[in-house]
Structure 1
């Protein structure tokens, strides 16, 4: 898609199939199945699509997908990983390479977002990129607790830390591209706003992982701080809708980008579907 001077691309980072009850928390199944497909194992397809922002002089990547050769057979089975990352080949179609990425933004460090950061040997996949991570998120990644150790994986650590910048509340990584701490899904979870020539987009990360999660009360069972997710969505989602933002999705199986109606905030008025 075109956003002002920027081109924004969706890159295929691999796919998971996750229990629908976990992705919709306390929302009853008869409600969420009206909005999202479910298979006979009660799983929903949850692809990972890193977002590439192409400016006139930089390539900026938001999150990194499932990576390659990082998961054991058991992990692939448990997380329903049908295929792994195609980022390198998707970049090649755009005449870019992994080495051309200048900036990597991490919304958070859960395995389905961070496995593509490193090779299985721990080498940085995007070796020339500066990596931006919220400070609390980084420290929990380094020392996860009894709950978070199931998703903050040591094998996703590596020498990308040599090109790492930590931030607290907000940072502008490039003119018009800001990363803002929200918490909620994880303590250090962040969202990304993009502005160019008066056009705007937001990536809400995993506090709004799919179009079906537009309702502030619909949060995942994976959210460590669900009331914080609700608080942020309750405030931010109406603001972004009223100011005509595109919403960009990392996980939605159907949509790459959506604009919502300013009156009925769950009605889609424009969209770009998955490729």
Structure 2
């Protein structure tokens, strides 16, 4: 498992599974001759997208960003449609670190789309129960509202079975919320109306987890946004704002979906100055 030290914090990527989605949808209006130079695709025009949660440890709390795609949470048809070739093995990843699901204190959900949230629940005796039984789940109020009452477009990704057994564990915020000292969630909108990012700071070192505003390193350009985005102009505005901050301060950008890199640090010219590769 790959790790990143940020001051007193340790970030570790767990194995949350993998999907393969259409490259055209993932890069929106960007022509294939451009995006295909930056990210590989298969014979179905799909790109590999990890769904790997990030564990943050400070010696006191165990915090997850996102939850993976879980196990046995999708029909065989959905697995085919979304190119799921591997499901979650988060419990095994935690075991390697001497932890169990009971040791997770907080789960930070940037949004509640199925590929981020299915791992929040698991089957026990034919019933879905919380995977992280002792964890408080943080999500923006806007996102949670839509999760409970999706519209005609979003009902395909906000599934009631992904909220029913966790609703007592959910805590919401409106604009931003510092979950513990140095770790903050910020509502950005864009990819979804309630989408949020996570900023991390410890001993002068910084990380910005842009979630699906920056799903892969190939989406670095502020104008390269997904066809899946509900509010693309808001994605562009929020993305440019935080990318400008991150490039100017040379912070780490971390990824949940990228199949090639776990984290990248760019300079003010957008050039890679440091990186953490995903071990395959």
Normalising by the smaller structure, the TM-score range is over 0.9
Q: 2:273 aligns with which of 261, 269, 275?
A: 269
User: SS state of the match for residue 140, structure 1?
Assistant: helix
Q: What is aligned with 1:175?
A: 181
User: SS state of the match for residue 123, structure 1?
Assistant: strand
**8 Å Cα contact 1:124-1:160 kept in structure 2:** yes
Q: Give yes or no for the alignment of 1:242 onto 2:248.
A: yes
Cα offset, 1:139, TM superposition: 0.8
Structure 1 vs Structure 2 CA RMSD:
0.8
For residues 214 and 67 of structure 1, what CA distance do their matches in structure 2 show?
Answer: 28
**8 Å Cα contact 1:130-1:163 kept in structure 2:** yes
Cα offset, 1:12, TM superposition: 1.1
Cα offset, 1:46, TM superposition: 0.7
For residues 42-121 of structure 1, what are the structure 2 equivalents within 5 Å? 42-120=45-123, 121=127
- TM-score, normalized by length of structure 2? 0.96
**8 Å Cα contact 1:9-1:51 kept in structure 2:** yes
For residues 160 and 128 of structure 1, what CA distance do their matches in structure 2 show?
Answer: 11
For residues 247 and 97 of structure 2, what CA distance do their matches in structure 1 show?
Answer: 31
User: SS state of the match for residue 192, structure 1?
Assistant: strand
Cα offset, 1:183, TM superposition: 0.1
Q: 1:205 aligns with which of 176, 198, 211?
A: 211
Task: Structure 1: state its 5+ residue gaps.
Answer: none
Q: 2:237 aligns with which of 208, 222, 231?
A: 231
For residues 160 and 177 of structure 1, what CA distance do their matches in structure 2 show?
Answer: 22
1:74-131 CA-partner distances (Å, limit 9, x unpaired): 0001100001001110111111111100000000000000000112422110010011
1:45-81 CA-partner distances (Å, limit 9, x unpaired): 0111111101110000001010011000000011000
Q: What is aligned with 1:162?
A: 168
**8 Å Cα contact 1:123-1:158 kept in structure 2:** no
**8 Å Cα contact 1:124-1:158 kept in structure 2:** no
Q: 1:131 aligns with which of 125, 133, 137?
A: 137
For residues 167 and 138 of structure 2, what CA distance do their matches in structure 1 show?
Answer: 10
Displaced runs of 4 or more, over 4 A: none
User: SS state of the match for residue 238, structure 2?
Assistant: helix
Q: 1:140 aligns with which of 143, 146, 161?
A: 146
Task: Structure 2: state its 5+ residue gaps.
Answer: none
